[in-house]
Amino acid sequence: MTTGLAALGASLLGSAASAQTLPPRLQPALVTLRQPLPVGEVHVFPDHFQLFWTLPDQQAWRYGIRVGREGLYEPGRYYIGAKKEWPSWKPTPGMIEREPEKYAKYAEDGMEGGIDNPLGARALYLFEPGRGDTYLRIHGTSDPSTIGRAVSNGCAGLLNEHVKILYDQVPMDTPVVLYPKMV
């Protein structure tokens, strides 16, 4: 198992460019949690811009993320209701209302999956019991300058190379906790 973890850890470092642009606390790492969290869950701590995929023995994979900007982050308990590779994307009505100059052109047809797509290489779709799809996602981005910032329309974003690994780690129906912002 140690060899497998070492190989996974090496692959988490991603490209040299992204490793150089992210501070150490936002780079993926296998960490020991100070406080125990349930195993097999995703936990998002928005004030620290970190996402944790929890493992046995108080271990977790930590990823640096970006989160929703002021008023758009929705704390709560969710589950992974869908997973897609190179997902297509369509802006929500709220996004179009807030920034029509940026999003109205995609209102009808959206955008096919690909490197320029706002959801990036992979997306984990957050659902709630009784509500279904919340339109919140954990997804990729090709812009390392957004990691460690509150800049999105409510979603948690990881670098594309990191979300590919998280996507493979996290199964369907995994519980996800988005903690409230404290600051």
What is the mean pLDDT of the segment spanning 151-160? Answer: 94
Give the predicted TM-score (pTM) of the model.
Answer: 0.87
Q: How far apart are CA 78 and CA 85, in angstroms?
A: 20
Q: What is the mean pLDDT of the chain?
A: 89
- Where b means 16+ CB within 10 Å and e means fewer, 66-92 reads bbbeeebbbeeebbbbebbebbebebe
Check: CB of residue 178 under 8 Å from CB of residue 46: yes
Q: How far apart are CA 22 and CA 26, in angstroms?
A: 6
Q: How far apart are CA 13 and CA 155, in angstroms?
A: 23
Query: Who contacts 84 (Cβ-Cβ below 8 Å, separation ≥6)?
Result: 113, 119, 122, 123, 125
pLDDT at 183 (0 to 100): 73
Q: Report the 10 Å Cβ neighbour count for 150.
A: 16
Residue 14's pLDDT band (cuts 50, 70, 90): very low
Check: CB of residue 178 under 8 Å from CB of residue 76: yes
pLDDT digits (tens, 9 = 90+) for 105-153: 999 999 999 988 999 999 999 999 999 999 999 999 999 999 999 999 9
pLDDT digits (tens, 9 = 90+) for 15-69: 444 545 789 999 999 999 999 999 999 999 999 999 999 999 999 999 999 999 9
Say what the alpha-carbon torsion angle 176, 90, 166, 74 is, to the nearest 10 degrees.
-30
State both tokens at 138: 């954990």
What domains does the chain contain, in order, with CATH numbers?
A: 2-178 (2.40.440.10)
Q: How far apart are CA 176 and CA 181, in angstroms?
A: 16
